[in-house]
């Protein structure tokens, strides 16, 4: 890999520029990112680190090609029109929690039930707080610091107070703004990678000590109030027939969904799945997997299906594409030959995606003929 062409280290970004780039629509959250979850106490610690001039870690961005311009996670608090004419944007690979925390506080947003406009800077203590009372002296909402009109009004009020009380609160407020405006943000960009490469990078990045798998990313991508992939898979594995064979792994079911939706189960295909697509094809996919298990039992495979897990997603496509519950007599010998040849030759060793795609197309042609 040519590192010079694949990685760019950006050293001239500040916190203020980061917020502006976000609002210009140049920075987006990809569909495989999880929802925002930070509470205000953690956000206050983040801002106090900035005030102390401590590093808060690099932000990793993916400079995505235009073909991924619609690969965006919809969030009500970050809906900005992309003003780049070439439709390119930088997706957040790592640093979403920090970016959204900073933005929500500096722009006074409400995320879920949490109101980040309540976070204030106390000019007397030179610290960030969430006031317990509605009106407390010396607490100024952080969301006013990048608002020039509001900032100047506060400066005028503080000057009057300082003059009559011989304090220097205006200095504290100016220093606070100066630190935030000029705080350097370390940006690392990965350039011109396709989604397959980016997913691997994402999986390698340690998120709070918990390694994220591709299934975690797919689950986060398709999750909404109408569809929960994990819960649905748990229900499938409680079925008597599935339970009897030890259950089915997450990967097998997701691969099957991707094959039925896109005739491909690559990482990028899996991450194209949406809640709407999954809801539409879920029942016929599970029915096809059950029909596949019945077929395996009919040819003498009764219990241990672990060694066949890589073959099942491809074989179930036969039942999905035809809506048959058994193999048609004219296809029986061909399907059985393909199955045993694939099994004994380890055809899908190392998750050979090109061969999986070939076999899906073979099944499609077979059923069409």
What does the pLDDT read at residue 177? 95
Flag whether 207 is in a domain. Answer: no
Please give the average per-residue pLDDT across 153-157, as a whole number.
93
Q: How do residues 4-21 score in pLDDT, each as one tens digit?
A: 457 788 888 999 999 999
122 shares its domain with 102:
no
- pLDDT of 4: 46
Q: How much is the pLDDT for 72?
A: 76
If pLDDT is split at 50, 70 and 90, which confidence band does 3 have?
A: very low
Q: Model confidence at 145, in pLDDT bands (50, 70, 90)?
A: very high
* pLDDT band at 210; cut points 50, 70, 90: low
pLDDT grade, residue 65 (50/70/90)? confident
In this prediction, residues 283-297 reach a mean pLDDT of: 94
Do residues 259 and 329 share a domain?
A: yes
Mean pLDDT value of segment 36-62 = 89
250/333 same-domain check: yes
Quote the distance between the C-alpha of residue 351 and its chain's center. 23
- What is the domain count for the chain? 3
Across residues 285-290, what is the average pLDDT?
96
Q: Quote the DSSP letter at residue 73.
A: -
Q: State the pLDDT confidence band at 359, using cuts at 50, 70 and 90.
A: very high
In a domain, 208, yes or no: no
Task: With a cut of 90, say whether residue 250 has pLDDT above it.
Answer: yes
189 and 217 assigned to the same domain: no
Mean pLDDT on 10-37? 85
Quote the CA–CA distance of 263 and 352 in Å, as a whole number.
14
Cβ count near 283 (within 10 Å):
9
pLDDT at 208 over 60: no
Residue 352 reports pLDDT greater than 80 = no
Same domain, 263 and 318: yes
CB 316 within 8 A of CB 310: no
- Name, in order, each residue with C-beta under 8 angstroms of 221's C-beta and a sequence gap of 6 or more: 31, 32, 73, 271, 273, 274
* DSSP at 307: G
Assign 58 a pLDDT band (cuts: 50, 70, 90): confident
- 141 and 223, same domain (yes or no): no
pLDDT number for residue 301: 82
Q: Residue 266: its pLDDT value, please? A: 84
- pTM, to two decimals: 0.64
pLDDT digits 0-9 by tens, 182-207:
999 989 888 866 776 777 777 666 55
The structure tokens listed for 343 are 């099994």
Which range (83-97, 257-271, 322-336) has the least confidence? Answer: 83-97
Range of the domain at 102: 3-113+182-201
Residue 318 lies inside a defined structural domain of this protein: yes
Q: In terms of domains, do 90 and 142 share one?
A: no
Give the tokens for residue 255. 């691969």
Q: Looking at residues 332-361, what average pLDDT do you find?
A: 87
The position carrying tokens 């090109």 is: 354
Q: Check: CB of residue 56 under 8 Å from CB of residue 29.
A: no
Q: Residue 331 domain-assigned?
A: yes
Rg (CA), the chain: 27
Q: What is the rounded distance in angstroms from the CA atom of residue 163 to the CA atom of residue 169?
A: 10
> Which residues, in sequence order, are CB contacts of 222 under 8 Å at separation 6+?
229, 273, 274, 275, 277, 278
Q: Which pLDDT band holds residue 176 (cuts at 50, 70, 90)?
A: very high
Q: Does some domain include residue 263?
A: yes
Q: What is the mean pLDDT of the chain?
A: 86
Residues 226, 349, single domain; the answer is yes
Same domain, 188 and 242: no
Span 228-256, average pLDDT:
90
What tens digit of pLDDT does each residue of 90-130 get?
Answer: 888 888 889 999 999 999 998 888 899 999 999 999 999 99
- Whether residue 206 lies inside any domain: the answer is no
pLDDT score for 2: 41
pLDDT score, position 90: 87
Domain match, 242 and 143 both: no
Amino acid 271: pLDDT: 80
Q: What is the pLDDT of residue 188?
A: 87
Same domain, 43 and 188: yes
Answer yes or no: do 146 and 253 share one domain. Answer: no
């Amino acid at each position: 890999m040519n590192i010079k062409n694949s990685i760019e280290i950006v050293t001239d970004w500040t916190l203020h520029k980061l917020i502006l780039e976000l609002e210009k629509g140049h920075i987006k959250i990809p569909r495989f990112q999880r929802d925002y979850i930070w509470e205000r106490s953690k956000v206050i610690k983040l801002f106090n680190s900035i005030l102390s001039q401590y590093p808060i870690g690099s932000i990793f961005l993916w400079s995505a090609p235009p073909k991924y311009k619609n690969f965006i996670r919809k969030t009500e608090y970050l809906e900005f029109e992309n003003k780049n004419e070439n439709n390119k944007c930088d997706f957040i690979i790592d640093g979403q929690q920090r970016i959204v925390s900073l933005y929500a506080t500096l722009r006074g947003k409400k995320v879920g039930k949490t109101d980040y406009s309540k976070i204030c800077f106390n000019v007397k203590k030179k610290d960030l707080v969430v006031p317990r009372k509605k009106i407390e002296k010396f607490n100024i909402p952080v969301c006013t610091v990048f608002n020039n009109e509001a900032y100047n009004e506060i400066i005028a009020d503080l000057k009057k107070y300082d003059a009559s009380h011989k304090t220097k609160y205006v200095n504290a407020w100016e220093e606070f703004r100066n630190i935030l405006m000029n705080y350097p943000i370390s940006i690392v960009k990965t350039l011109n990678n396709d989604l397959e490469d980016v997913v691997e990078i994402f999986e390698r990045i340690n998120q709070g000590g918990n390694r994220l798998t591709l299934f975690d990313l797919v689950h986060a991508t398709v999750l909404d109030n109408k569809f929960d992939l994990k819960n649905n898979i748990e229900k499938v594995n409680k079925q008597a027939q599935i339970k009897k064979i030890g259950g089915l792994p997450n990967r097998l079911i997701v691969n099957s969904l991707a094959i039925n939706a896109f005739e491909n189960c690559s990482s990028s295909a899996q991450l194209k799945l949406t809640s709407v697509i999954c809801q539409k094809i879920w029942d016929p996919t599970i029915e096809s997997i059950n029909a596949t298990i019945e077929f395996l039992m009919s040819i003498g495979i009764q219990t241990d299906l672990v060694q066949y897990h890589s073959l099942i997603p491809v074989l179930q496509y036969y039942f999905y594409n035809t809506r048959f519950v058994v193999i048609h007599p004219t296809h029986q010998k061909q399907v059985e030959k393909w199955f045993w040849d694939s099994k004994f030759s380890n055809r899908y060793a190392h998750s050979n995606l090109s061969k999986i795609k070939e076999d899906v197309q073979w099944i499609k042609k077979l059923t069409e003929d």
